Amino acid sequence: MRIIDAHSHCWIRPGSADASPARELVEEMDRFGIEKSLVLSTRTNLETLKISAFDPKRLFPVASAHPAGNLDSDLRAVEENAGKFKAIKLYPGYEPFYPSQPICEPVYEFAERVGLPVLFHSGDFASPSGRLKYAHPLHVDEVAVQHPDLRIVICHFGNPWIEDAAEIASKNENVFLDLSGLTGPPTKYSDRYFEHLARQVSGAIYYIGDAGKVLFGSDRPTTRVEDAIRLVEKLDVDEADRKLIFYENAENLFFKPRGE
Ligand SMILES: [Zn+2]
């Protein structure tokens, strides 16, 4: 099965050779048969660009935008490297803002102008310092309604607000959901939680009635790639839909000119 990872993380570690994290990522992609990865970093956009340049046919940078930070320089990096970035990500909750706040408007206007999708962190965090009230997927609805031409991805399926996220994607034609980072760290109930998650996500897809809204993502290295793949394999959907989730939806959203 062909796979695009719509949500992987990679950054240059202090003291490590610049290319080694990118090489590790590509080796991991080879191991799991992943053709292309969208590369996210919470650090600078130029660093993400540099990592992705290691294998420009397979690694595609996603820019970060920090509405309360130096937004001009975030967006300038995208503008000056036209055609290289595949999306722009916002981190509500990791940073204290709601997606519907006016400070985010310049990002949406920019993304619409250059035709890039916007990704939102959503739901649970990798760190307890995150603020959940900002990260509830419900806040994305307002953005989707006000910007019908902006294509939006709610990351992590809004977990644990999976049904809420499904409703937002069901209601708004321009909203998609990624499956990254759902499986979580091991606990004594990991196996049962995994079964529960697969049922929950399958149910969300039935509610939407369209697997065309759902993208495979790993959130590596926080989540193990093999667990993320196993989750999609476990979903109770037909094989045509599994292909959409693993590959075709991301291909359409990030790699094809709009309208094709
Ligand atoms: Zn992530």
State the distance from the centre of ligand 1 to the C-alpha of 232, rounded, in angstroms.
Answer: 17
Expressed in angstroms and rounded, the spacing between residue 89 Cα and the centre of ligand 1 is 10
Instruction: Please report, as a single letter, which amino acid is at residue 121.
Output: H
Cα 126 to ligand 1 centroid, rounded to whole Å = 9
Q: What are the boundaries of each domain within the chain? A: 3-255
**Phi, psi for 152 (deg, rounded to 5):** -125, 140
Neighbours of 193 (CB within 10 A): 16
Amino acid identity, residue 58? R
**Model confidence band, residue 16 (pLDDT cutoffs 50, 70, 90):** low
- Taking only the tens place, the pLDDT of each residue in 44-86 is 899 999 999 999 999 999 999 999 999 999 999 999 998 999 9
CA of 94 to the centre of ligand 1 (A): 11
What is residue 259's predicted lDDT score, i.e. its pLDDT? 61
Whether 260 shows a pLDDT value over 60: the answer reads no
pTM of this structure: 0.96
Cis peptide before 106, with omega less than 30 degrees from 0? no
Topology classification of domain 3-255: TIM Barrel (3.20.20)
